[in-house]
């Protein structure tokens, strides 16, 4: 573990956990998320952003430097289903664009609790359908996301398989794949989790689900059925409460026939990729993802 990650993790852990432990409404968290994103995410050389609207939604096109590949990344932002926007994560997506030579399409999706799940799942499926109507073949689209966005990416993979469509691949960084929070790491890693205390996970589930069951495979992709599964890359910290979400997803997808790569880091914060430019483990993880994406064109 780099000294930079150790130092930054030690400084932010008590602050973030205290804030998450006290939060009762999503609005303060959204303001904090927006302010933190503006400070934490580093601008990428050559970054280009273009807002767009399409039937039923809005999105952000992102690139950075020369676009060398006709494929695109459908990137789904995180934020616990209650916070975040394409604009908060645009710099993170731009770093991946810079390293792959691809463009990214970042859809906005409805947030809970105003719009309980599966509203977000419906919106990301609408974004996929829009890209298909724009002329992109399924095999030209790489789906990816972080945290809640990683769970949405995996849920979209399941829905597409059931519809007979197969994207080029899916990557998920620290995905939230089980809203029952039944993984052993939820309690087992509470002492090492940087952001979200295990005592609040059921409060989050109640806030985002309303009347939808946490076992519904639309919202908890760990319980979904997978068919015709594309290659999948999962990255997760061994220290976070969502570790078992990724580990169990890897096992399930392998059984379904997917070529799965599970990459783990020790001591990293949840979705440490957002700290690109702050400590080397973040750039390393994004670089691994970029190389994995580029390898898909050879399959």
Taking the C-alpha atoms of residue 2 and residue 28, their distance in angstroms, rounded to an integer, is 32
Give CA separation, 63 vs 129, 170, 196, in Å: 21, 19, 31
Sign of CA dihedral 216, 220, 223, 227: positive
**Radius of gyration (Cα) for the chain, nearest Å?**
17
Strand duo 103-107 + 72-76: pairing = parallel
From the list 63, 147, 185, 239, the catalytic residue is: 147
From the list 165, 193, 240, 281, the catalytic residue is: 240
Taking the C-alpha atoms of residue 283 and residue 286, their distance in angstroms, rounded to an integer, is 5
Helices (H), 201-279: 201-209, 243-255
The token pair that represents 196 in the structure block: 């979200």
Taking the C-alpha atoms of residue 213 and residue 89, their distance in angstroms, rounded to an integer, is 29
From the list 194, 220, 270, 281, the catalytic residue is: 270
Instruction: Mention every residue, 6+ apart, whose C-beta is less than 8 A from residue 82.
Output: 26, 29, 30, 111, 112, 113, 204, 207, 208
CB 182 within 8 A of CB 282: no
Please indicate whether residue 147 is annotated as part of the active site: yes
Beta bridge partners of 62: 49, 104
The CA-based angle 58-213-85, given to 5 degrees, is 20
Residues assigned a catalytic role: 147, 240, 270
């Amino acid at each position: 573990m780099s000294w930079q990650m150790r130092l930054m993790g030690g400084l932010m852990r008590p602050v973030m956990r205290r804030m998450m432990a006290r939060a009762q409404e999503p609005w303060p968290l959204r303001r904090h998320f927006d302010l933190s994103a503006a400070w934490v995410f580093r601008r990428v050389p050559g970054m280009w952003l273009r807002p767009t609207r399409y039937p039923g939604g809005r999105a952000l096109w992102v690139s950075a430097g020369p676009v060398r590949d006709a494929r695109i990344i459908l990137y789904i932002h995180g934020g616990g289903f209650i916070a975040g926007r394409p604009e908060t994560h645009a710099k993170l997506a731009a770093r991946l664009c810079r390293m792959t030579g691809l463009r990214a399409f970042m859809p906005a999706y409805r947030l809970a609790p105003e719009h309980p799940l599966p509203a977000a799942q419906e919106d990301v499926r609408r974004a996929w359908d829009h890209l298909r109507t724009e002329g992109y073949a399924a095999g030209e689209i790489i789906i990816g996301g972080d945290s809640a966005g990683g769970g949405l990416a995996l849920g979209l993979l399941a829905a597409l398989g059931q519809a007979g469509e197969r994207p080029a691949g899916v990557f998920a960084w620290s995905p939230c794949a089980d809203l029952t929070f039944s993984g052993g790491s939820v309690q087992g890693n509470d002492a090492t989790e940087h952001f979200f205390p295990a005592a609040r996970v059921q409060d989050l589930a109640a806030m985002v689900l309303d009347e939808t069951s946490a076992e519904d495979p639309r919202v908890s992709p760990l319980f979904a059925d997978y068919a015709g599964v594309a290659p999948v890359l999962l990255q997760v910290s061994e220290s976070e409460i969502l570790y078992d979400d990724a580990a169990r997803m890897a096992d399930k997808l392998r059984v379904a026939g997917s070529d799965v790569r599970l990459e783990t880091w020790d001591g990293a914060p949840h979705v440490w990729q957002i700290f690109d430019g702050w400590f080397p483990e973040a750039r390393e993880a994004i670089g691994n993802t970029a190389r994995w994406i580029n390898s898909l064109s050879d399959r």
